[in-house]
Amino acid sequence: METSGYIDELRIVGGDVALDFVNTQDGDPPVECLRAYGDLVAWSVRVGLLAAADEGRLVGEAKARPEEAEAAYRDALGLRETLYSVFRAVAEGRDAAELDLEVLRRYEREALSRGKLAQHKGGFDWEWTDEWDLSRPLWPVAHAATALLTSEDLDRLKLCAGCYWLFLDASKNRSRRWCTMEVCGTHEKMRRYVEKRAARRDSQRD
C-alpha cells in the first residue's frame, strides 16, 4: 500500500493524539499529509495507536478491499474536519456546533461498541486490537477526542498564533503561543523584526 512519505516528516506536537490527528494538514496553503488510506495507517503506527506488528495485517485488508479503504479514508478526512471545528471553537472560547458534536457522538458510540476495556499493569485502556474493520484507525482518534473534551486539560487547548495548528499548552504559566517555536515562533519573530525595521526606516524618512 502506498504512503506519501509525509507522515515520517510530520511534526507531532499537539500533546494529545486527537490534536495530532487534526494537525495532519500542515501549513498555509495547506499540505495534505493524509493522502490515502495507507497514510492513515502509517500515522496510526507513528503515534502509537496501532501496533507496528498489526500494520501489515491492516494494510493487507485494505488491499483486499480497496473500496472500503477509500470509504474509511474519506471518513477520516470528514472526522478530522469535524474535530478541527470543535477544537478550534473551544480554543477560541466559542460553543462547538451541535452538528459537529452529533458527528463525534456517533463516532464515539461506534468506537466504544467495537472496542474493549482492557486491564494492564498500571491501569485500564480502551483497545481495538481484535478489529480488522478498515475504520479501525478512526475509533481511537474519536475516543481520544471525547476524552480530551471531557478532561480538565481542555482549558490548556490553544490555537497556534502562526499556523492554526492545535496543541495543549503544558507550560507552567501557560505562555506557549506556538505549535513549535522553531517553525512558527521563529517565523513570527522574523516577521516582526522585518516590520519593525521597515517602520524605523519610514520614521527616519519623515
Q: Which residues bind Zn ion (CB under 5 A)?
A: 160, 162-163, 165, 179, 184
Decide if 178 contacts 188 (C-beta within 8 A). yes
**In the complex, minimum distance from the CB of residue 192 to Zn ion, in angstroms, rounded to a whole number:** 15
Indicate the residue among 84 and 165 with the shorter CB distance to Zn ion: 165
Indicate the residue among 107 and 165 with the shorter CB distance to Zn ion: 165
What ranges in the chain are assigned the alpha helix state H? 6-9, 17-22, 37-46, 52-64, 66-91, 98-114, 138-149, 186-205
**In the complex, minimum distance from the CB of residue 180 to Zn ion, in angstroms, rounded to a whole number:** 6
Chain centroid to CA 52: how far? Answer: 19
Indicate the residue among 130 and 182 with the shorter CB distance to Zn ion: 182
**In the complex, minimum distance from the CB of residue 160 to Zn ion, in angstroms, rounded to a whole number:** 3
Indicate the residue among 18 and 184 with the shorter CB distance to Zn ion: 184
Indicate the residue among 31 and 59 with the shorter CB distance to Zn ion: 31
Which residues does 141 contact at the CB level (< 8 Å), separation at least 6?
Answer: 17, 18, 21, 49, 79, 83
Q: Is 117 helix (H, G, I), strand (E, B) or coil?
A: strand
**In the complex, minimum distance from the CB of residue 165 to Zn ion, in angstroms, rounded to a whole number:** 5
**In the complex, minimum distance from the CB of residue 24 to Zn ion, in angstroms, rounded to a whole number:** 14
Q: Report the greatest alpha carbon distance in the chain.
A: 72
